[in-house]
Amino acid sequence: MSALTSAKARAGRPRRLSLLAAAVLVAAAPSVARAQDIPIVRDAEIEEILKKDGYPIWEAAGLDAKNMRVMLVGDKDINAFTAGGLVIYVNTGLIEAAKNPNQLIGVIAHETGHISGGHVARDMGGKPALATYLLTMGLGILAAAAGAPDAAAGLLYSADYFATLTYFGYSRTQEASADQAAATFLDKAHISGRGLVDFFENFRYEEVFADARKNRFFYDHPLSSERIDALNSRVQKSAYYNEVDTPEALAEHAVMVAKLKAFMNAPQQTFIDYKETDTSFPARYARAIAYYRNLDTDKALKLTDALLADYPNDPYMWELKGQILFEAGRPKEAEPAHERSVALKPDSALLQFNLGQTLVAEEDPRKVGEAIAHLQKGLDLEHDNSLGWWLLAQAYDAKGDAGRARLATAEQNFWLGQMKDARAFALQARNLLPRDTADWRRATDIVLTSQPSEGELQSMARQGG
């Protein structure tokens, strides 16, 4: 993921989307202090780590842990929030600010407390729903429309996650309740609650600030010394209070922070933060990304190959190599790297999309069928991922299958909530697909659920369905 910039600054500069990651969505979501763009970012590796961190908490809370999601917000402000459903939003700035995994897990447990408690946040001024559009940025999963990145606006991710998202604030009673719920979940999961207390202690001074000066998290989640003391008293009684982070958890946290810094900061800043004398895995990883972002492909590949020599079974190292080559316009060379990443992590939709996109980009008719298979596998894993449907439409178009290409485009728009366009493409697909097949019936379903006009219904009736 490259440093975030405004859509206007990117206009007219065609780029391929990338690694930190598969998608960026921007929401016009004013905060109390100022209006700001909130970019939602995808990264398979970081999402896997965050889900592993949260899973025991969600199980302890009695939630559907398998279907819980942690979504990354590309914002350096320290914040985390929920907007209903089984989604927790975590700012990249919070991950960087958390001093250890236990602190981050504590915040996830706190947000889980809000979900479990069914808390209804206080409205903070009628904030608008998310208006999503594409921001092209580094290491990418998709080639945006050449010369017209704005044409890909709203392309990438399900509107269901974002259409109702606003900035919320909770009452002090709800905050205290979420604290106590978090302590309960952590205890059930045999995890120390000390990290959540320590995280709050780091910002105890926020209580005295005026609202305009408060950190975003502590405006939405009003903090008080009484809250901290009550939570501390509770977690100190736990049998697991003195449990510490495992070496594996510490290593994974360091990787997340390094990766985020490498993508969010300018390359030169990364070289300062992770000097050549630092030979740790996170530092080497960060420098490889920084060279990639600095368009120094040879150095990026050299570092990535060295990392692969040490960690040959790391799917995300292979993903990085594949994307460096793909971004350099070398899809045939990228293919083996993406194949290896998928072989190592076949249940990652984003890695499947990477490989499918690469195969299509080779413009070899013999590989289109294989590309479709990988894209479909990704969609089996994330059926509502409009990015995958967009890529599948490109693959079917390359195959000359106009009916399925239009159906995939209808699906893309359907999952984005763009019902007018979904209906238009579904109607076209019905006219091209064999009647009474599964694809034809799916196109019909999309039409019927997208507010068709009386004339469209009558036309379908005349066609016999």
> pLDDT tens digit string along 276-301?
999 999 999 999 999 999 999 999 99
Q: Residue 453: what pLDDT?
A: 84
Is the pTM here over 0.85, yes or no? no
Q: Residue 48: what pLDDT?
A: 95
Contacts of 408 (CB under 8 A, 6+ apart): 389, 390, 392, 393, 396
Q: What is the pLDDT of residues 143-167, one digit of tens each?
A: 232 233 333 333 333 333 343 344 4
The amino acid sitting at 121 is A
Q: Residue 217: what pLDDT?
A: 56
User: What is the CA 243 to chain-centroid distance, rounded?
Assistant: 30
Q: What is the pLDDT of residues 227-249, one digit of tens each?
A: 888 899 999 999 999 999 999 99
Q: Residue 462: what pLDDT?
A: 74
Q: Residue 119: what pLDDT?
A: 64
Measure the CA–CA gap between 27 and 449, rounded to whole angstroms: 26
Contacts of 258 (CB under 8 A, 6+ apart): 274, 282, 283, 285, 286
User: Model confidence at 33, in pLDDT bands (50, 70, 90)?
Assistant: very low
Q: Which H or E run includes 57?
A: helix 44-60
The amino acid sitting at 365 is P
Closest CA to 262 of 424, 137, 128, 129: 137
Contact of 416 with 403, CB cutoff 8 Å: no
Give the pairing type, strands 16-18 and 37-41: unpaired
Which is more confident, 459 or 169? Answer: 459
Q: What is the pLDDT of residues 395-448, one digit of tens each?
A: 999 999 999 999 999 999 998 888 999 999 999 999 999 998 999 999 999 999
Give the other-Cβ count within 10 Å of 63's Cβ.
17
Strands of the sheet with 37-41, listed across from one edge: 24-28, 37-41, 69-73, 87-91, 80-82
Residue 214 clears pLDDT 80, i.e. is over it = no
User: Model confidence at 452, in pLDDT bands (50, 70, 90)?
Assistant: confident
The pair of three-digit structure tokens given for residue 393, joined into one six-digit string: 């439409």
Mean local confidence (pLDDT), 25-50: 58
Window from 62-71, 135-144, 268-277 with minimum mean pLDDT: 135-144
Mean local confidence (pLDDT), 182-200: 95
Which is more confident, 93 or 452? Answer: 93
Which is more confident, 296 or 208? Answer: 296
